A and B are shown apart, each in its own frame.
Chain A
Amino acid sequence: MRSCHFTGRPGPATCPVCLVNCPTVSNGTLRWRCVGRPATLCCHRPPSNTGMEQPIKVLLIEDSATDARLLRIFLGESSTHCFDIVHVARLAEGMERIGKEHFDVILSDLLLPDSQGIETFERLHAHVEHVPIIVLSGSDDENLAVRAVREGAQDYLVKGRIDGHGLVRSITYAIERHRAEQRLQESERHYKFLLESITDYSYSVKIEDGKPGLISHGPGCVSITGYSAQEFEADPKLWFRMVHEADREAVQEQARRIQAGETPPPLEHRIVHKDGEARWVRHTVVACRNRDGNLSSFDGLIADITQRKKAEQDLVKSEAFYHSLVENLPQNILRKDLNERFTFANQRFCAMLGMPLEQIIGKTDFDFFPPELAEKYQRDDRYVIRTGQIFETIEENHAPTGEKLYVNVIKTPIYDAKGQIIGIQGIFWDITERKRFEERLQRANQELAASEAALRKSHEELKSAQLQLIQAEKMESIGTLAAGVAHEVKNPLAILMMGVNYLTKKLGGAEDGIQQVLKEMREAIDRADAITRGLLDFSASRQLAIKSESLNTLIDETLRLVRHELRTKQIVVQKNLGERLPGVGVDKRQIQQVLVNLIVNSIHAMPEGGTLMVRSYTKQLTETSHTEGSRRASHFWVGDMAVVIEVEDTGTGIPEENLAKIFDPFFTTKPTGVGTGLGLPVSKKIIELHGGSLDVRNVKGGGVRATILLRPQKA
């Protein structure tokens, strides 16, 4: 279903003039029923090839219905354009329509019921700046129309002189012209905006009579130079003075070349800012020529490049700094690309290879080193390239003289701006001297450690000997004291003994009571004598009668000596004597005394009976024992062979607090008269005189074990 372009209603076209009549067919041609003209427009017109599919939307403001109808007819007849006409009779109505819909062009009479004369145009123009306006006027007020055109109307048409073709052309031109104007305005605004937003300082110099004349300064001049346009205008020489003294000649040269018709490249020079500080600027000058090719003016653009210049200078300084570093370091420095070709070598490395840098760049290790070395170097490089890791090593090389040289090598990857590895950088330096010092230091250190160990050992021995000496001193003085005491006690005992002897004889037949008293006195004397004897045993310095003895025989004999005691106390003896014990050089009587002492102690510890274990065996020592109390060191060292005798009981054990005191003379826990407190001290002394050791300790689960270590006789 087609719709009518004039009315927008579906169905056949409506005549643009009468609005009601539809075209009729007569003589094979469609004609408007009202006017009889061929209906070439609208729905009846075949599709156009002009591409002008969209009708031109026209707002017609015209209070004369006749004029309006005429214009409709003219536009409707156009074979090139299609128009969609909205017709109103009053300005207010027109403005209202403008506010509601879009129009491509406005045709407006100036004499309207609600507005007359130029005011009609002005109001319209103020209301719709973006739509071209064509003014319609009568022949009597053409001047008014001309004025409207001057004020911005696209065209004016004089009623009565309008024809169809002229009207369409006027409308299409008005639209085109209006569009062009709009584009121009847009462009102007754009450039104006652009120019205003440039912070650079632009200026323009007019050439008058071949000489520079009027100068205009852009708004950027304040920020770049510190001076305002007014200041430049007030002092014509200010501009040139502003140029840094050293650069004035170059600036003058640039101006000269411009005036000579050349196009000089941008000049970088310094100016002195109003604040007194020198600034770097980039000064571009462009010449403008008139149609004759003569210079009419030139424009300058001055940009502050102080920051950039400073960055450049910093870069140069930094370059110089690193260059100096690289060339003055005592290290060899080199760079290679991914193909193992040298891209850099510092002077030291060049000197090492004995050729200038140009002959090194582009070459590989194979050009300078033996193949196996070159292969190794490249292997290291490839490791760095593959892993991105730093490679550090100390290479051992041999000098032609045969001595070992040490070289410390560090290789690191080189990256490009994208973070891709593009090669490696190597730094190496000779550390032979340092290495030699290290080796010497290490040797010295080892020697020092060895002598320190020896020192420590001898210190320990000394300490042990000192402890023994102190203890021996102590024992010696106790011994002297004991001997004195014993002697002084024995004499009164001798007197008592004589007295008791005498009384016994004299009172031989006396009553039992007296006999009992004398007997007890006699026993008391014996006891006191035993104590003093023990004391003397302990304190005496003795001569040993050393003979090679079988310890097992000795043990058996000792057990026989005490078998009566063992039997009465119901003590079971477990013997475990090692076979083929080596002979031991001992004073048999003394060792027997020691064994008796130890066994008696065990018996006393088992008043309710128990088991006495006696063992003998040989063993290689795994720990050393330093024992105190003898001048004759009883040192056993780890690895020494020893013959061991153990006497162990299942008795009461030694209270922890007493363990440290058991070798002190006179220390005893036995009832008075049972022990003298000298058994263990004497035993220990005897064993130590034999160069052995005696150790007494509690056994887990109760009981005590005494361990005697003796040296086997040397075969």
Chain B
Amino acid sequence: MKNTKARAVWQRFRRHRMAVVCLVILAALIALALLAPLIAPYSPTKPAGKFSQPPSAEHILGTDKIGRDMFSRILYAMRVSLLVGFLATVVSTAIGVVLGLVSGYFGGVADRLLMSFTDMVMSFPYILLVLVAAAIFQPGMWSIILILGFVDWPGVARLVRGNVLSLRETNFIKSDITAGMLRRYILFSEILPNTVAPVLVYATSVFALSILDEAALSFLGMGVQAPTPSLGNILNGAESLSVLTGKPWLWVPAGAVIILLVVCINFVGDALRDAFDPRNT
């Protein structure tokens, strides 16, 4: 039963040719990032040649102002950016799912309190919250993960709550309640599996957003700190006019990688939405 459903989803997904291409690119980029220590020709943090060299056979993306190999740096930066995006998504999705489940299932005072809290977080100018939060912790990779994770959950919470509210009216949940099943069982074994698909689709867009936010924060110098490379802090160098005008190899590739990652994640997410939602067939 489960297998045939998965196959149907895959078949609908496959019809989006663009998304399949994106999935392949994404898989390739993730593989490159994971295998960075094996592929990268040089260390990402130690000088490996002359400084500020344009791309050559030895350094295919050139070297930066202290002689580090840019290709190696970008590989490692992808690793950091993907990790930040992924973990931030896991954190925010987990928070959102739990709050959404509680809010939707129990209703009443808990629901009202949780939802007005959600509204508060949502009506915050997002970047302001992130900036102020970034100032609290020592800036760095783990604080970025936590900050983005704690800021991104309201969307998921609302989505799950809405789903739970409509599931509660279905007959199979009503019969569970009548049969006196444990709340814990109903929540986690009956309701939760039925909200997985929309949450997964939503999570892809949070993943894309987190990668963009990490890049923006690191670009502003409040995210991942040098010497650890991230796609955002590599771009930071382009704020200097001589780099911007004279050394495009130092900033164009990192930006292109961000765009490629985010576009691909968005396309895959969009096709997943279609594939999971049988109404669209």
> Are A and B bound to each other?
no
Interface positions of B (Cβ within 8 A of A): none
